[in-house]
Amino acid sequence: MTVDETWVPLRAELDRWQAAGRTARFWLRDDDAVEPTAPLDRLLDLTGKAGVPLTLAVIPASTGEALAARLASAPHVLVALHGWAHTNHAGDDEKKQELGAHRPPELVLGELRDGMGILQRLYSQQLVSMLVPPWNRINKALLPLLSALGLNALSVYGRARTDSPIALLNTHVDVMNWHGTRGGRPHAELVAELVRELQARFEDHAEPIGILTHHLVHDATAWDFLSGLLDQTHSHPAVVWTSAAELLSG
């Protein structure tokens, strides 16, 4: 299958949306930003040229002025709180978690409060009041307490729950194969997943489709997919790439 043929199912589904007068909303979240790097420059260049808004989940305990200075020249980028230090506190027999029930809630909330303070100082104009839990996991008991920290939304992975006590802006398609090669997933597999997400929203498309990337660990397969996705969608009449702030305010 050639690269061009790989995208045929996605284009066909988007054309169906266009014929029906419907618009699919996409948004892009990239995790684990800490400092300026060549991969970050590549991500900013790709999204900037395509005119696609980007939300960077920044780890506050490890970041500083250098990243803030770099992002100051990237007006299409928003910053979200990515936990505190991206440190696993779960046991060896559990899935990794920083914001789980393994420590007292007041300690976890205190770290998040400190993290918000750091990001508010560094990104007063680019910060969106949204928490991105490391590994997309959080103790549910913390959710009603986040608003007191200035966090009005949560972004994890999978379809949004209707019973959440906090606004959800989730991601649904992860370009990385974390349980296998730890590189980019096959393009045809990702396209098929995107088509399924679109088909599920054709009648009720209230929830935007979130794309999840991790610029620091992308291989050529992951970069090629992201580049192809932006190329195939950024000018399609049935697609609008939307910022996290706009989606949450809407």
Q: What is the pLDDT along the chain (250 residues), one digit of tens a residue?
A: 445 799 999 999 999 999 999 999 999 999 999 999 999 999 999 999 999 999 999 999 999 999 999 999 999 999 999 999 999 999 988 999 999 999 999 999 999 999 999 999 999 999 999 999 999 999 999 999 999 999 999 999 998 887 899 999 999 999 999 988 889 999 999 999 999 999 999 998 789 999 999 999 999 999 999 999 999 999 999 999 999 999 999 7
pLDDT in the model for residue 183: 94
- For the entire predicted model, the pTM comes to 0.96
CA–CA gap between residue 127 and residue 123 (Å, rounded): 5
CA–CA gap between residue 239 and residue 229 (Å, rounded): 11
Proportion of the chain above pLDDT 90, given as a percent? 91
pLDDT in the model for residue 180: 84
- What value does the mean pLDDT of the chain take? 95
Do 89 and 66 contact (CB within 8 A), yes or no?
no
Q: What is the pLDDT of residues 21-78, one digit of tens each?
A: 999 999 999 999 999 999 999 999 999 999 999 999 999 999 999 999 999 999 999 9
Do 223 and 187 contact (CB within 8 A), yes or no?
no
Look at residue 55 and give its three-state secondary structure. strand
CA–CA gap between residue 226 and residue 180 (Å, rounded): 19
CATH 3.20.20.370 matches 3-249 = yes
Domain residues of the chain, as ranges? Answer: 3-249
* Nearby residues of 177 by Cβ (< 8 Å), 6 or more positions away: 183, 184, 185
The beta strands (E) that lie in the chain are given as 24-33, 54-58, 77-81, 127-131, 153-154, 167-168, 173-174, 209-213, 239-241
CA 73 vs CA 32, 86, 89, 243: distances in Å = 19, 26, 36, 17
* Nearby residues of 24 by Cβ (< 8 Å), 6 or more positions away: 14, 17, 198, 201, 205, 209, 238, 239, 240
Proportion of the chain above pLDDT 70, given as a percent? 98
Structure tokens at 90: 């779960």
